[in-house]
Structure 1
Amino acid sequence: MEPEAYSMSSGVDWDKDDPFEEQREEIESPMQRLLFEYGRPYWFSMVVGLISSVFARALDLLPALMLAVAIDAIVYDAAFAEQVPLVVLPEAWLPTTETGQFQFVVAVIAGSFAFGAIFHWLRNWGFNSFSQSVQHDVRTATYDKMQRLDMEFFANKQTGEMMSVLSNDVNQLERFLNEGMNSATRLIVMVVGITCLLFWLNPQLALVSLAPVPLIAVFTYVFVKKIQPKYAAVRSSVGKVNSRLENNLGGINVIKSSNTEEYESDRVEDVSRNYYDKNWGAIWLRIKFFPGLQVISGIGFVLTFLVGGYWVFTETAPGPFTGTLETGVFVAFIMYTQQLVWPMAQFGQVINMYQRAEASSERIFGLMDEEGRIERDDEATELEVREGRVEYDRVGFGYDDSERIIDDVSFEVDGGETVALVGPTGAGKSTVLKLLLRLYDVDEGEIRIDRQDVRDVSLASLRRKMGYVGQDTFLFYGTVEENITYGAFDADREDVIEAAKMAEAHDFIQNLPDGYDTEVGERGVKLSGGQRQRVSIARAILKDPEILVLDEATSDVDTETEMLIQRSIDELAEDRTTFAIAHRLSTIKDADTILVLEDGRIVERGAHEELLENEGLYSHLWGVQAGEIDELPQEFIERAQRRQARTEVGDDD
């Protein structure tokens, strides 16, 4: 396959907008929703983290304050009990000797570090416990919602995009709930605490130290408005990178056999470059913002040092200021102003994390609020299969409004009968049976099982009564036995072996290195296509369903194995309603009824011999497989060419 053709076959427009853009636009207050819906059960750990953070940061402010006391009271012989920070304490608690005063200051500083360490530990426990618990709940709830969405949703989304939501976006939330909220609390306590202390110590000099704050607020507001759309673009580009990598790794056999490694490397480079550009745009804005914020914050420190230093050295209040400024208070101002510079500069980092988390939460809740076409009723009645009679009554369906895939399909199947659906590629055979399983819901008409509309019964009971073997055999990472018992988890080894024997899988399983305990690898890569298909058939047999759906169930096995499997399937289908799709008509010629579909309509129906005598589409398809191509009418060949030129959306059968 040529690179250009392979590019079109991928069906992905890597330059399109965020695939979750429509969902994101409907989300309001995502962070508030996150905290109230998922944070509420863990309020205790969050409160512990918040309170401990407040006390920890408050204790961090004590050493500088006590240093000011020591300088003014001990070095400059000022009245110890009259020091501003100590007026809140009873005078009887305060020592009167210089040695006692020194020891008191040292004890307070040492105590602040000791108790501060305890509160820091509690803070870390609280925030980490809160963030990890919320992250776990959000990820599992998002996955649960995702797997319950309609197949139509998965047809329109790339696996890598959804993996990006479950992994990258959820991790962004955890980072903000832990680091972001921790930092935000620390910054608030530090800024408010230092501001109060500065005004308490000297209101006039405090105005100088805090002069840059309004400018910082404006600077941060501009940053937030500019960075928000950039982070949304970054989150989208991450999903595209994941989708490209997942798509390529899944199709590695095609890439190697087509000798397109260099071409695919270029395509990965393209999406990676797109992510680089989007991410660098956000990084470049941060690079300009944080140093600028630090410079503005530093202005407060320089002004404090300049005005306060002049005030202390000259012992004269500069300009409009009045009164005196003690040396200890000046030292405290210098230390607090320096401590204030970094929190103010770091405030941008908190905003940065918040914006990332908000963009991620919009994508998460956008996915969780996705509504499918299939209506689910948790209180719906259970499906009761008594006879296994299935009725399609004037059924119509289309994946979108542009084209009908199934049009006015009606037929009845008595319990225990086998019905085969045949027809050219794109006729809608697989879609007809997907409607029975309610992987999609009909747009028109009804499908009934024993007179019960499949839309009126619970999905769980409907699918419990059915066994499905598809043409795209999928095995989960795990052992052979785990894959056979999937959906029938309580089955014992004897039942598993019996099901494997009926699927003609027992012999090859015994020859595997660890028998039924052999790991099959991701997607069953360690087994051949035919082996995977037989394991899948054994899975359906073990489930022992009332209704069996076989969609090209033997497409990946050789003729001899197909004969053996078909014999087992015939035995399995004797006492249950069975639907079978097959391109190899020899496998379904003994069906009770054969339905021939073309362009979403039933054009013929009847038994094998009857359809051959009609000399219609079925007899022509039989002639193709019998090698009688030269005897086919020109009209059939022309119609086949038109069908092949047409591209069916969402249905390749």
Structure 2
Amino acid sequence: MIKRIWNLGGQQRWRTYIQVLCQWLSEMLVVTVLTAGAGRAISGSWSTPLLICICIQFIVSFTYLMVGAPILSDRWASAASKDLQHQFFKYYLKQASTDTTKMMKILHQDLGTIKRIAVFYDTIIPTSLQLIMTGIVMVVTILFIHPLTVLIPLLGIFALGGGMGLLEGLGDKKNFAYIASFNHMGQRFLDDFFGMNSLIMYQRQEQYAADFAEDSENFRQKTMGVLVYQLQTLTIMDLCLYGALGWFVVAQGMAVAAGTLNIMSAVLISSLVSLWLIDFRKFGYFIHIFMSTLPKVKHIFELIDYDTNQTSSASVDLKKAPRFVKLDGSVGYADRNILSNVTIDLEIGHVVGLAGPSGSGKSTIARTLMKQLPMTSGSITVDNTNLTALTRQSWWRFVAYLGPESVLFDGSIEDNLLFGVHTDINWERQLKEMNLCQFVQDLPDRFETVVGENGARLSPGQRQQIAIARAILANKQVYIFDEITSNIDVDNARQILRVIKQLAQSKITMLITHRLDDIEQLDEVYLVDNGRLVHGTPVELANKVVAFKQLIDEQNQLLKEVRA
């Protein structure tokens, strides 16, 4: 797994190598200055080779600080995080569920891990490379000047390894217990947050509070256990490293007193050992943090690998925009069919409606068309290509799905509108021609208006208009609109339907809806009725399906009463 982490963001690795070399020369500048100063104190003159080394190291250090640091620091970590995020989101987007709660749980558990993995690239690798370089210089120098004392720092490291080995089993148990408690606590918070109304409705607040307090105490204990373990490891680390350093300095002092070692040599090897052991302590601290993150990183890689194995058979890349989509077969899940032996034809020219009661399978059809669920039998054909042969990335270049709860990103209206735009277009003119998002003209900052978190500063209808405009500006070829008018006011719903009908003149368009106003304006509707799919115009469906006719009559009667 370490090799796999190492390979992430590999295109930026060279920057870290240069950064490490510059930082190492900066650290070695201290050693060189101390050694030169000791020589000056003994002989009364400066060593020319050491002065040249000081000048070179100073120039490199100054240049790195002023010029190199901004273009070298954290580049590998940033590239690696982006690589892992890209792989992770590819996995998540291919899952069958589009439930917001599930999305929050996944992000809660895994995205924090991806951020924390940066410590491997910006601290552990640089420190490790510096340790190797300093260690080589230290060992060679000590062997040349005072050979026996080279054993002292090495014994300190061996002692540290032994102490950490004794705690390793305890550390694994503490970390896994903490992770389990953390995930459980987060899961409870999310579940209770989204179910708060139910808790209040059924008067379960007191039980909720007691359960939450119990979980909080368990989490506190697990957290304290991890902190105690960390303090134990730091204590062992400090005892071994600083003990070795003190022992080494005493040995050098005794050698100087005995006349077997001059002060300049003692300062040189003592400063090298000090630098090496201090870097080792830094390495030990951060490697502990990294190791505690590894179980979560392993979990992310397992998800990514599972997804890769499941989708490796899809290899065809869709080259041109499709003109026709046909679903023919059964849809559902591995353990059951939702709809059997159904046929849906989608083509350019008009909006195809899909209607039916909640839970009848409409969204299952949408997820199947989006390649988020496989057909339980039969196939989906895109022009003359089976959808199973297409890669998801290829298919999603041409298809867009929009549901009733669209997500807006914190930023301006313009930022959200142009989220999927990759070419120069006159987007404001395009929106004006569709009479879409024209409410923006009444806002003080117009398209620069900040929408807030998930569009909190806008009305539901305005948020949905922006989401639809964003999808249209992305210029997809296939659009699946799923209950997008269900939670907004009548005026916005009618405007959105006009835009969809206009869009269908040049795009493949499906509208999933239960609103009678929407259904009556469509030329072709597929109606889910008791596990079967009935096809026709709204008038034809009213004649074929008794329940649909009753629904129309009831809604018309209700409208008459309201208007009266």
Normalised by the size of structure 1, how large is the TM-score? 0.67
For the residues of structure 2 that align with 1:492 and 1:178, how far apart are their CA atoms?
41
For the residues of structure 2 that align with 1:347 and 1:439, how far apart are their CA atoms?
44
The counterpart of 2:46, out of the listed 104, 110, 130, is 104
The counterpart of 2:232, out of the listed 284, 288, 307, is 288
Query: Aligned residue for 1:141?
Result: 83
Q: Give the secondary structure class of the aligned counterpart of 2:74.
A: helix
Q: What do you get for the CA RMSD once the two structures are aligned?
A: 4.8
Q: 1:133 offset after TM fit, Å?
A: 1.6
For the residues of structure 2 that align with 1:470 and 1:395, how far apart are their CA atoms?
23
In the TM superposition, 1:469-618 aligns within 5 A as: 469-484=402-417, 486-487=419-420, 490-499=425-434, 501=435, 505-506=437-438, 508-539=439-470, 547-559=478-490, 562-563=493-494, 565-566=496-497, 569-570=500-501, 573=504, 578-598=509-529, 601-602=531-532, 604-614=534-544, 616-618=546-548
The counterpart of 2:317, out of the listed 373, 380, 396, is 380
In the TM superposition, 1:221-370 aligns within 5 A as: 221-224=165-168, 226-227=170-171, 230-231=174-175, 277-300=221-244, 325=260, 328=263, 342=278, 345-346=281-282, 348-356=284-292, 358-359=294-295, 361-362=297-298, 365-366=301-302, 368-370=304-306
Q: Give the secondary structure class of the aligned counterpart of 2:353.
A: strand
> 1:407 and 1:134, CA in 2 relative to 1: closer, same or farther beyond 3 A?
farther
1:583-640 Cα offsets, whole Å, 9 max, x none, are 22343135444433256x3254444444444564434544664679xxxxxxxxxxxx
Query: Aligned residue for 1:648?
Result: none
For the residues of structure 2 that align with 1:527 and 1:585, how far apart are their CA atoms?
26
Q: Which moved more, 1:411-420 or 1:508-517?
A: 411-420
Q: Which runs of 5+ in 1 are unaligned?
A: 1-28, 75-100, 316-323, 629-653
> 1:580 and 1:175, CA in 2 relative to 1: closer, same or farther beyond 3 A?
closer
The counterpart of 1:219, out of the listed 158, 163, 186, is 163
The counterpart of 2:127, out of the listed 177, 183, 197, is 183
> Residue 33 in 1 paired to residue 9 in 2?
no
Query: Aligned residue for 1:444?
Result: 377
> 1:269 and 1:121, CA in 2 relative to 1: closer, same or farther beyond 3 A?
farther
> Residue 46 in 1 paired to residue 7 in 2?
no
Query: Aligned residue for 1:85?
Result: none
1:431-483 Cα offsets, whole Å, 9 max, x none, are 21332233433232112344543334565675565565422233343444554
For the residues of structure 2 that align with 1:526 and 1:327, how far apart are their CA atoms?
74
Question: Which letter does structure 1 place at the counterpart of 2:426?
Answer: A
> 1:482 and 1:340, CA in 2 relative to 1: closer, same or farther beyond 3 A?
closer
1:487-519 Cα offsets, whole Å, 9 max, x none, are 4562332221111x2x5x53x333233344433
Question: Which letter does structure 2 place at the counterpart of 1:380?
Answer: D
Amino-acid identity (%)? 20
In the TM superposition, 1:603-642 aligns within 5 A as: 604-614=534-544, 616-622=546-552, 625=555
Normalised by the size of structure 2, how large is the TM-score? 0.76
Q: 1:218 offset after TM fit, Å?
A: 1.5
The answer (yes or no) to whether the contact 1:312–1:330 under 8 Å persists in 2 is no
Query: Aligned residue for 1:371?
Result: 307
> Residue 432 in 1 paired to residue 365 in 2?
yes
Q: Which moved more, 1:567-576 or 1:484-493?
A: 567-576
1:229-265 Cα offsets, whole Å, 9 max, x none, are 6556666777777778888999999999999999999
The answer (yes or no) to whether the contact 2:331–2:340 under 8 Å persists in 1 is yes
For the residues of structure 1 that align with 2:397 and 2:261, how far apart are their CA atoms?
82
Q: Which moved more, 1:134-143 or 1:349-358?
A: 349-358
Question: Which letter does structure 1 place at the counterpart of 2:6?
Answer: L
For the residues of structure 2 that align with 1:211 and 1:438, how far apart are their CA atoms?
59
Q: Tell me how many residue pairs correspond in the alignment.
A: 550
For the residues of structure 2 that align with 1:130 and 1:587, how far apart are their CA atoms?
56
Question: Which letter does structure 2 place at the counterpart of 1:38?
Answer: G
The answer (yes or no) to whether the contact 2:12–2:79 under 8 Å persists in 1 is no
Rg comparison, structure with higher value: 1
Question: Which letter does structure 1 place at the counterpart of 2:483?
Answer: E
Q: 1:138 offset after TM fit, Å?
A: 1.9
Query: Aligned residue for 1:394?
Result: 329
Query: Aligned residue for 1:132?
Result: 74
Q: Which moved more, 1:117-126 or 1:438-447?
A: 117-126
